Amino acid sequence: MKANFHTHTERCNHAGCSDQRYVDVAIEAGIEVLGFSDHTPYVGFDGDYYSFYRMRPDQLSDYVTSINSLKEQYSGKIEIHLGLEAEYYPKLFPGLLEFIKPYGIEYLILGQHFLDDDQHGLSAHWIKEESQLVKYTDQCIEALETGLFSYLAHPDLPNFDRSHLAFKREMRRLCEASNRLGLPVELNTLGILRERHYPCIEFLEVVAECDSTVIIGVDAHLPDQFTDTETAEKADELIRRFGLRTTETIALDRLEKYYATHT
């Protein structure tokens, strides 16, 4: 793996080590392109929302300063990019775009951990009802259709019954939308490492059937994930098993183009 665009920092409260340590270990692992995409703040939510899942609004400036400094410090050694992982909350998303506008964020990846526009909205991890799964899929597709996200992280995050016909049907809708919009879907290696319910075989079967493009996302919460060859080999085996088409590049100019036309 030469590129990873899914990297967190300790600001999200559930990752560890310094920003520089991530860069040093990425270089050690042979990564040539490293994108930081910590969990974005959302203005308007209170402290409970930030206590575990993401950085606070007042931390964004430090995050940007740190990553941009590392870009300069490691120029010629590794290519570093500044991104954010964000949920799509339809009523709040315009406010997020306005909030991050001054900071020069290069890219967004979609990680739809919660539904609705409520900080106490349903966690995608706990989706059990078909109607909830449909809502998750609708919300993801609406987000991708904004044209502002560069890829869809852990699409198969909902812990819905994999044997239910609705699961493959909704995952197919996600893959078809991603194909239509020219966006990759993620094979999340943190899920492999921690033996989570994703990535799952049923989703990868749909990816293969739809011939969707796959991007590996380390979803790094610790730097040593970059040198975890055992997990990387498991991901490679899944790619070979299903004959998946992969990419290591993403669009890095979507936000820039948006802001250029939305003054």
Per-residue tens of pLDDT for the chain, all 263 residues: 899 999 999 999 999 999 999 999 999 999 999 999 999 999 888 888 888 889 999 999 999 999 999 999 999 999 999 999 999 999 999 999 999 999 999 999 999 999 987 777 889 999 999 999 999 999 999 999 999 999 999 999 999 999 999 999 999 999 999 999 999 999 999 999 999 999 999 999 999 999 999 999 999 999 999 999 999 999 999 999 999 999 999 999 999 999 999 97
CATH of 3-261, one of 3.40.50.300, 3.30.365.10, 3.40.50.620, 3.20.20.140: 3.20.20.140
Judge residue 67's burial from the number of C-beta atoms within 10 Å of its C-beta, 0-12 exposed, 13-18 middle, 19 or more buried. buried
- Per-residue pLDDT tens over the stretch 179-222: 999 999 999 999 999 999 999 999 999 999 999 999 999 999 99
Q: Are 244 and 204 in contact (CB under 8 A)?
A: yes
pTM above 0.95, yes or no: yes
C-alpha 215: how far from chain center: 10
Contact between residue 22 and residue 223 where contact means Cβ atoms under 8 Å apart: yes
